[in-house]
Amino acid sequence: MGESPYQDLVDAGGLEAVLRAACPGCDIEMPEARGAFGGFLARVGKGDRVVEVLPLVDERLFRVRHLLRGRYLSRLFTTDLAEVTGVAAAWLGGATARELAAAWPFADFADIADAFESGDRTELAWQFLRTHDGLRLGEFVEAAMREPRLRRMYPVTSVMMMSFQPAADERRVPGLWVRAAGGGRVTVFTKGRWEEPDTYDAAEAVRACLAEIDRLGEWTRSGSSHPTRP
C-alpha cells in the first residue's frame, strides 16, 4: 500500500485513539476482520447503538456501518476521517436519521433508519432488502416497492430467494418464490412450475407475481390454506 497518512494512522493504533476522543464514554472493540488494513475493524458502542469502522486494505478509505439494536441501518464509504468521527459521534449521541442526513448528506440511510424508528416492520423489511442486496435482486426489489399491492405485503427470504406474506406476523407465503437469474433478470417459481420456472426482467417479474397471487385468491384471506415451497 505504501507509506501514507492512512497507513500511519492505522499502524499506530491511531484510529482507536481518534474514536475514543470523538466518542467519550463509549465502548470500543478492535476485532479481527477480513479485508481490513491491519486486519481489524473498530466497533464503537453506546447503549443500543453501534458504529463499525473498517479501514479497507486496498482503497485507502473507510467503510462505516451504523447499527441500532443489532440491526444494520447503513453502509457508507469516505476517505475523510473527520466525517467518520463526526457521524459516529452524532449517531452514538442519539441523533435521529434525519438529523444525520441533514448534517452529512453522503450518509444515505434515512429511509431504513426511519422505518426502524417508526416501528413499521413491513417498511423496514423492504428498506433492508433495498439497502443490503445480498440476494442480488436489487432491480426487482425496486420495481416491487413501486407496486402498491406488493409494497403492502411483508417480504420474506430463504436460501437466496424471496417471497411475500400478507403481514409481518402471518407466516404464510403464496407458493411463489423469486430468485436472481443474472444480468438483471429474475426467475419466478410458482406452484406447479418448479422444474421449468419462467425468467423475466424486473417489471415483468412483478406482473408475474401479481398474476400468481391473483390466481391463488384464497391465500390472501385470513385463515385460508395455502401452497408452500416444496
Asked, for residue 146, whether it belongs to a domain, the answer is: yes
Residue 51: inside a domain: yes
- Above 60 in pLDDT, residue 136? yes
Residue 41 lies in a domain: yes
Is the pLDDT at 139 greater than 80? The verdict is yes
29/111 same-domain check: yes
Query: Residue 184 sits in which domain range?
Result: 121-220
Q: What is the pLDDT of residues 14-42, one digit of tens each?
A: 889 999 999 999 999 999 888 788 788 99
Predicted confidence (pLDDT) per residue in 101-110, tens digit: 777 766 656 6
Least confident of 53-62, 80-89, 211-220: 211-220
Question: Does residue 146 surpass a pLDDT of 70?
Answer: yes
The Cα–Cα gap between 195 and 88 comes to 49
Last residue of a domain, one of 87, 118, 149: 118
The cell for 78 is 469516505
Q: Which of 92, 118, 144 corresponds to the end of one domain? A: 118
Confirm whether 173 is domain-assigned. Answer: yes
Q: Are residues 76 and 130 in the same domain?
A: no
225 has pLDDT over 60 = no
37/58 same-domain check: yes
Residue 195 pLDDT: 66
Q: Is residue 2 predicted with pLDDT exceeding 50?
A: no
pLDDT of residue 230: 36
The verdict on 83 and 174 lying in the same domain is no
pLDDT tens digit string along 156-185?
998 899 999 888 887 777 678 999 999 889
Domains: count for the chain: 2
* Grid cell 472493540 in the structure block, residue: 29
Percent of the chain's residues with pLDDT above 90 = 36
Model's pTM, two decimal places?
A: 0.61
Q: Which of 86, 67, 80, 2 is nearest to 37 (CA)?
A: 2
For residue 147, the model assigns a pLDDT of 96
Residue 228 lies in a domain: no
Binning pLDDT at 50, 70 and 90, where does residue 222 land? Answer: very low
Confirm whether 227 is domain-assigned: no
Give 56's pLDDT tier (boundaries 50, 70, 90): confident
Q: Which residue has the higher pLDDT, 44 or 6?
A: 44
The answer on 156 and 54 residing in a single domain is no
Q: Which of 86, 96, 98, 93 is nearest to 46 (CA)?
A: 93
Residue 16 shares a structural domain with residue 57: yes
Mean pLDDT for 135-161 is 93
**Per-residue pLDDT at 224:** 36
The pLDDT of residue 3 is above 70: no
Answer whether residue 223 shows pLDDT above 60: no
Instruction: In whole angstroms, give the CA distance from residue 105 to residue 12.
Output: 30
20 within a domain of the structure (yes/no): yes
Give me the helix-helix angle, 121-131 and 138-145, nearest 10°: 150
pLDDT(226) > 50: no
Boundary residue ending a domain (118, 136, 160): 118
Same domain, 156 and 210: yes
Check whether residue 66 and residue 125 sit in a common domain: no
Q: Does residue 226 sit within a domain?
A: no
